[in-house]
Amino acid sequence: MSPSTPSPATDSFDAIIIGSGPGGATVARELARGGMRVLVLEQGSAAPIRGTLGQMARMAAVPGKGAFVHRDASLLVQGITTGGSSMVNFATAMPPPLAMFAAHGIDLAPALQSLRNELPMAPLPDNLVGPMATRIMAGAHSLGLPWHKLDKMIRPQICRSGCWRCVYGCPFGAKWTARDFLDEAVGHGALVRDGAKVLRVLVQDGRATGVEFVRNGITATAMAPLVVLAGGGIGSPKLLEASGLQRGPSAFFSDPVVAVMGSVADLVGGAEVPMAAGMHLEADGIILSDLTLPAPMYQAFATQVGRVDRLFAHHKTLCVMVKIRDAIGGRVGAHWVDKTLQPADRAKFKQGIALARKVLAASDATHVFKSWHFAAHPGGSVRIGEGVDSDLQTATAGLFVCDASVIPEPWGLPPTLTVLCLGKRLGEYLLANSLAWAR
């Protein structure tokens, strides 16, 4: 397809992208830069980020949209807004496991190098590592643990100390989010429609031809020979099922987390960037890090496990995150999502929580308690090799998936950088093969 001028028509495009998180925004930017007429449909709002609890709750805590409660009372959260979960995430960057993808015929190294060259991605300078993260790191080091500062997708020159707002969506522009790529896509002519929920992918003679979506209560269609599903680990399998392109619910991973918390007498804090430092037990599938969250989130954790005695101790409570690589299981259904822990998951938590308790003890914390588990990384629900091929194409010609759902194996890592690499690679592939999609 030769580069073409954006058309004033809103119903016919070269490519339609469903969802504007890291996966969707990256593909949109690549295709728009290559001259394609791109439509991005996002069910969430594009309202400017204010960094308030209320706005964060509307993005990530509305039951059945941003939040799903499982049978075992654990919570799964995701961001429903332009930029997807990147708006509320903790901005920790970890590179994709290249060998895992190589085993599926995918080389992510060139995309990783290119993204490293352009994105903010480095440990925070010491002045932006909060007192709680510093205290926990010192405790871990006293035990001889390889605790180190983690790469953050944060612009340190704009970030400020004593601030917790990245968790609510940074209103200062310090945190990199997928809206940055989306803005670039728009600069290259892409059309982004927020509040537009895609109902199904349209297919004719085994080829994707467009989508049906609802916006402002009106159902409409948009046509394109290329459709990229980037609805995230929950949204994409749901849409495949709603389109009759997948039978039955999908299993998935969610990288569940337990927060282990304890109070110290000589520190007053509670407002800092979470996950500033930590350690990765790669073979065991466990990540530990500091996890200082805003007071309302801490209080929700304490309340859920009945620790009302700790409700007002937020300012002096150190929090260590234990994240595990869970087995693929559970189900994403048409109207529900459910995943409970397997015996191997429980064993990982037992090991990680014991280590977190040691780190807290070495940090002189007392009154230690742990939260119930919760999760924020749904993925692996349309896996490479099963739901899509190594080009991320489904069994339907012209229909691709590009988000955390294509991750092929149990995970246990911050997924954003991997999803960005997949998006960049797919965008380049689609442009290089654009004649195949020309009508």
Ligand X SMILES: Cc1cc2nc3c(=O)[nH]c(=O)nc-3n(C[C@H](O)[C@H](O)[C@H](O)COP(=O)(O)OP(=O)(O)OC[C@H]3O[C@@H](n4cnc5c(N)ncnc54)[C@H](O)[C@@H]3O)c2cc1C
Question: What's the one-letter identity of residue 116?
Answer: R
In the complex, what is the shortest distance from the CB of residue 344 to ligand X, in angstroms, rounded to a whole number? 22
Q: Which of 272, 290, 326, 403 binds ligand X (CB under 6 A)?
A: 403
84 alpha-carbon distance from chain centroid: 7
Instruction: Verify binding: residue 353, ligand X, rule CB under 6 A.
Output: no
Contact between residue 367 and residue 319 where contact means Cβ atoms under 8 Å apart: no
| Positions in 356-395 near ligand X (CB under 6 A) | 376-377
Q: Per-residue DSSP letters for 390-405?
A: TT-B-SSBTEEE-SGG
| Positions in 214-233 near ligand X (CB under 6 A) | 230-232
The nearer residue to ligand X, 84 or 352, going by C-beta atoms, is 84
Instruction: Verify binding: residue 250, ligand X, rule CB under 6 A.
Output: no
- The tokens for 395 are 């069994």
CA–CA separation, 237 vs 405, rounded Å? 8
Instruction: Verify binding: residue 399, ligand X, rule CB under 6 A.
Output: no
Instruction: Verify binding: residue 209, ligand X, rule CB under 6 A.
Output: no
Listed in order, strand segments (DSSP E) in 205-265 are 207-215, 218-223, 227-229, 250-252, 257-263
Contact between residue 228 and residue 76 where contact means Cβ atoms under 8 Å apart: no
Binding string to ligand X for residues 295 to 324, with x set by CB under 6 A, is what? ------------------------------
In the complex, what is the shortest distance from the CB of residue 265 to ligand X, in angstroms, rounded to a whole number? 30
- Cα angle, residue 237 at apex, residues 233 and 241 outer, rounded to 5°: 165
Q: Which of 32, 36, 41, 324 binds ligand X (CB under 6 A)?
A: 41
Give the H/E segment covering residue 233: helix 232-242
By CB neighbour count within 10 A (0-12 exposed, 13-18 middle, 19+ buried), where does 8 fall?
A: exposed
- The tokens for 180 are 């940055």
Q: Which of 179, 197, 348, 370 binds ligand X (CB under 6 A)?
A: 197
| Positions in 413-432 near ligand X (CB under 6 A) | 414-416, 419
Instruction: Verify binding: residue 254, ligand X, rule CB under 6 A.
Output: no
In the complex, what is the shortest distance from the CB of residue 392 to ligand X, in angstroms, rounded to a whole number? 12
In the complex, what is the shortest distance from the CB of residue 280 to ligand X, in angstroms, rounded to a whole number? 13
Phi, psi of 231 (to 5 degrees): -85, 5
State the residues that interact with ligand X by CB under 6 A. 18-24, 41-44, 60, 77-81, 84-86, 88-92, 197-198, 230-232, 235, 239, 275, 376-377, 403-404, 414-416, 419
